[in-house]
Amino acid sequence: MSVTAPSARAIAEVSSPPVAGGWFAYAREDAAASIVVALVALPLCLGIAHASGAPLTSGLVAGIIGGLVVPFLSGSQLMVSGPAAGLVTIVYASISELGGFEIFLPAVALAGVFQIVMGLLKAGVIKFYFPTDVMRGMLAAIGLTLILKQAVHLVGYDADYFGDTAFDQENHENTFTAIAHAFGATHAGATIIGLLSLALLFLWPKIPSAKIRRFPAGLFVVLLGIGLNALFRALGSDLMVQPEHLVAMPSSGGPLGFFGAVVRPDFSAFANPKVWSAAFTIGLVASLESLLSLEATDRLDPWKRTSPPSRELVAQGAGNFLAGLLGGLPLTGVIVRSSANVNAGGRTRLSAVLHGIWLLVFVLLIPGALNLIPLSALAAILIHTGFKLSPPSLYREMARIGWWHWLPFTLTIVSILLTDLLVGILIGLFIGGGVILLRHSRSPVLIPIGPPGSVLQRFILPVHLSFLNKAALANMLESFPPGSRVELDARRTAHIDYDILELIHTYAGLMKERGVDLRLVGVPSLPGGKPSGH
């Protein structure tokens, strides 16, 4: 466990990006991280499939495709893809509306085609418009969500599915009632394993021996959990963790059983218009979630690599196309697994690929062994990741840099915590966009140069003048008393909206009548001649 945020220590540890094409440049780190990611991903895949009302195998298929297909096409080094909690509501509704999972699968494949088309049309550029404050709020909220949601699993209260991120849970509780209930229903054995794991994860980087430190802490706590539980069982103790608090891989009856359990798509459903509208919704929402995850993962990258978003849409689309054909849930880039990947020291896309291989190996070869893993150990890994995503220093910094940063940040966190990731982020984007527009419309439209009290008041116009500045500019122009001399210099302005141009030229006439000497320098004339009226 080495890096999460680019602290001085982290930068010292990972000094420079790997050379291009270095698939195996960090094989050891990537392999270690991939095991942790796969162990975390496993119950998430199962939990999300369960909550979506889909066969459990579909979650695993999506997870495996997210590892074995998407990373090869994606431009991201660290993002992990798989079934997403953010899609649960949509998937659940679509399956019941379409009347069966086999009819739903063609919609997933079609959604993938939509995504590929969007990617080829370069729709991914919207990634660059996610406001920083909202993205920071999103990461913090995910961190808090992990802490709050996983706290109940840490103490062995597994009423809700593992990996739920919505406030109103599948089981008609919400985040806070679940925590309250959990206090009355803790399981001592699970709690011991969970708390011990959590403590170990936090103390791991402080272990003096570098040799021990290099062992992936996440893997260690999982093995410790299995070991402790085996000990409890051997002792016949009440502390023994019951199967409902362990990973519950469906008993597939070996590789053939797994493939047999996978649902095949009903291709005749392509004729159904509802399939198309479901595909459209899924394609759109999955794309948004993937791009958000991509942006978030890029922000977590200690090497500050940036990933091409449109290429990501193509990669995700290919993944969903295959998922639809092979009986998987729709997948997206997922932040929890991606941040666990970063937190566990993943460096390149090899770790995402390996995570897919491990999932496949788990499913085919050792489904039984997985059922020995206490959920509370996995919860500890996610809570630790949550703390890394949501460190107290982040809140202090956001409070320090001003309310217009703090407001969208905080509102995004609150909305995500009280609704779910997707709805919350949309609220955050809406509010964040509003704050940005507000700030933009209040930004100075005329920048004074020259000393105050000059006979000639000289102003330069900002680099960019949009219609949002119209009211402010009109007020400013109104404010010059008769007899004043004003120079507006637009020679450094790269872009002026037509609205603004029209306003300036209209005022030029008005102000002349009013006895204001307005001199325009480098202000383009109106494309269609002067506006009527003067």
Binding segment (CB under 8 A) for another protein, from list 347-355, 372-380, 451-459, 502-510: 451-459
Give the gyration radius of the chain's Cα atoms.
Answer: 28
**Does residue 454 interact with another protein by CB under 8 A?**
yes
**Does residue 521 interact with another protein by CB under 8 A?**
yes
The tokens for 477 are 């122009």
The tokens for 187 are 């399981």
The tokens for 518 are 């307005």
Q: Which is nearer to another protein, 158 or 489 (CB)?
A: 489
User: Using the rule CB under 8 A, which residue among 455, 479, 527, 532 binds another protein?
Assistant: 455
Instruction: Report the nearest approach of another protein to the CB of residue 458 (Å).
Output: 7
Q: Which residue, chain included where needed, has tokens 């980087």? A: 205
In DSSP notation, 107-127 reads: HHHHHHHHHHHHHHTTGGGGG
Around Cβ 271, how many Cβ atoms within 10 Å? 9
**Does residue 9 interact with another protein by CB under 8 A?**
no
**Does residue 481 interact with another protein by CB under 8 A?**
no
The H-assigned helical ranges of 23-131 are 27-51, 56-68, 70-73, 88-98, 101-120
Contact 473, 493 (CB under 8 A): no
**Does residue 487 interact with another protein by CB under 8 A?**
yes
Q: Which is nearer to another protein, 273 or 452 (CB)?
A: 452
Instruction: Report the nearest approach of another protein to the CB of residue 129 (Å).
Output: 36
Instruction: Report the nearest approach of another protein to the CB of residue 511 (Å).
Output: 16
Binding segment (CB under 8 A) for another protein, from list 207-215, 356-364, 496-504, 517-525: 517-525
Q: Which is nearer to another protein, 19 or 455 (CB)?
A: 455
Q: Which is nearer to another protein, 227 or 450 (CB)?
A: 450
Q: Which is nearer to another protein, 256 or 456 (CB)?
A: 456
The tokens for 139 are 């990461």
Q: Which residues neighbour 329 within 8 Å (Cβ) at sequence distance 6 or greater?
A: 48, 49, 52, 54, 58, 59, 61, 62, 83, 87, 91, 108, 323
Length of the chain: 534
Instruction: Report the nearest approach of another protein to the CB of residue 522 (Å).
Output: 8
Q: Which is nearer to another protein, 103 or 486 (CB)?
A: 486
**Cα angle vertex 430, ends 427, 433, to 5°?**
145
Instruction: Report the nearest approach of another protein to the CB of residue 455 (Å).
Output: 5
Provide, for the chain, the percentages of residues in helix, strand and coil under a 3-state DSSP scheme, each rounded to the nearest 5.
65, 5, 30
CA 46 to CA 522: how far, in whole Å?
64
Instruction: Report the nearest approach of another protein to the CB of residue 518 (Å).
Output: 12
**Does residue 471 interact with another protein by CB under 8 A?**
no
Calculate the alpha carbon distances from 370 to 50, 112, 257, 353, 375 in Å. 17, 31, 17, 20, 11
Q: Using DSSP bridges, classify how beta strands 331-334 and 456-460 pair: parallel, antiparallel or unpaired.
A: unpaired
DSSP assigned state of 367? H
Binding segment (CB under 8 A) for another protein, from list 28-36, 94-102, 500-508, 519-527: 519-527
CA 301 to CA 285: how far, in whole Å?
24
User: Using the rule CB under 8 A, which residue among 208, 273, 453, 481 binds another protein?
Assistant: 453
410-449 mask for another protein (x: CB under 8 A)?
Answer: ----------------------------------------
**Does residue 8 interact with another protein by CB under 8 A?**
no
State whether the Cα torsion 275-277-280-283 is positive or negative.
negative
Around Cβ 463, how many Cβ atoms within 10 Å? 9
CA 485 to CA 270: how far, in whole Å?
70
Binding segment (CB under 8 A) for another protein, from list 13-21, 68-76, 92-100, 514-522: 514-522
User: Using the rule CB under 8 A, which residue among 213, 233, 470, 485 binds another protein?
Assistant: 485
Around Cβ 515, how many Cβ atoms within 10 Å? 11
488-507 mask for another protein (x: CB under 8 A)?
Answer: -x------------------
User: Using the rule CB under 8 A, which residue among 153, 311, 458, 505 binds another protein?
Assistant: 458
200-239 mask for another protein (x: CB under 8 A)?
Answer: ----------------------------------------
Q: Which is nearer to another protein, 434 or 450 (CB)?
A: 450
Around Cβ 479, how many Cβ atoms within 10 Å? 8
Residues that bind another protein (CB under 8 A): 450-451, 453-456, 458, 485, 487, 489, 519, 521-522
